[in-house]
Each structure stands twice: as structure tokens, then as C-alpha cells.
Amino acid sequence: MSKSRTIRVLIAKPGLDGHDRGAKVLTLGLRDEGMEVIYTGLRQTPEKIVQAAVQEDVDVVGLSCLSGAHNELFPRVVELLREFGKEDSLVMGGGLVPEEDVPGLREKGISAVFTSGTPIHTIAEYIRQNVRA
């Protein structure tokens, strides 16, 4: 992608899970990495997340869930992004996601899953190399 445009990221909390330490830390961290980052706040439906992604014209959607509803909620966001013509967005997941769920999520369009302990720089690098814009 051209270097002139700043990468725009939406960090979102789908579902009812209230644990957003990771989401907030990542929001602040990616900002320090030079990206424009919007954090949705808690309790977002996939519909609301996709609406925000379209309105804010983001390149990346980062989804965080620690309640175990990730298998239901993450793929739904990907589906809706396709419906709204945002299939070029890079979708990443994080939170409490057991390793055995990762292949299934990748198959459904979540390109990477970063769980706790991942350095922010690693995530930022991943975004820079994989963002499709």
C-alpha cells in the first residue's frame, strides 16, 4: 500500500464480554505505532461493528472476545463485511481463544488470532505486511 495513507484500525468488542484490558491496550499501542485506531467500546453487535467499519473506512478490524462466543461472533463479522463490500478489510481476532479453534476461524476469514502476551509491535508488523489497500 502507499505510504501516504495512515492505516486505519477498528478495535471492537463483539458480544457481551466486558473484559477490555487487551482491547484498550492494543488501541493505545497501535496508535503509538502510528496508526489511526478507533475503539468501539463494549457490547457491540456484529452489525454495529460492520457499520462502524464502513463509516470509518477502516483497513483493519480487530475483534476481541474472552467469553467463548468467538466462534459465533467473529465469522459473523466477516460475513457482514462481505455483504457491505468491505471484504478487503483485514480481520484479526484476540482474547481467550483456545488454540484448537484457530484453524476454524482462519478458514472463515479471520486472518490471524493474537492472544495475550503477543507484543504490540508483532501485531503492528503483521498489519503493515498484510493490509490490503
Partner 1 sequence: MLFDREELEKIAGAKQEWEEGLLKQQMERFGMKEPPGRTYTPADLGDWGFLEKVGLPGQYPFTSMEYATHLPERGTAVSAIRFVAGAYAGYGTVEDTRDLWREQGRRGANVAFDLPTQCGYDSDDPISRGEVGKVGIAVDSLRDFEVLYEFLDGVASLDQTASNFTINAPCNIILAMYIAVAEKKGVDPAKLRGTPQNDILKEFVARGTYIFPPDASMRMVRDTITYSHKHLPLLNPISICGYHIREAGATAAQTMAFTFSNAIAYVQLGIDAGLDIDDFVRRFTFLNFSGSMDFFLEIARARAARRIWARIMKERFKARNPRSWTTSGLGNAVEGRYCYTTQRPLNNLARGVIMGVAAALSGGRPSGGVAWDEPLGLGHSYEASQLSLDAARIMQHEARLGTVIDPLAGSYYVESLTDQVEQETLEIMDRIEKMGGSVEAIKSGWMQREVARSAYQFHREVESGERVIVGVNRFTGENELNVTTSRLAPHPYDPRKRADAEERQLANLATVKKDRDNSRVQATLKDLHTAARDENENLMPYFLDCVKAYATIGEMCNVLRDVFGEWEPVGAL
Enumerate binding residues for partner 1 (CB under 8 A).
Answer: 15-21, 24-25, 27-29, 39, 41-43, 45, 67-69, 71-73, 96-98, 115-117, 119-121
CB of 82 to partner 1, least distance (A): 19
Neighbouring C-beta atoms of residue 1, cutoff 10 Å: 10
* CB of 29 or CB of 133, closer to partner 1: 29
CB of 85 to partner 1, least distance (A): 23
* CB of 51 or CB of 71, closer to partner 1: 71
* CB of 19 or CB of 82, closer to partner 1: 19
CB of 6 to partner 1, least distance (A): 17
* CB of 34 or CB of 132, closer to partner 1: 34
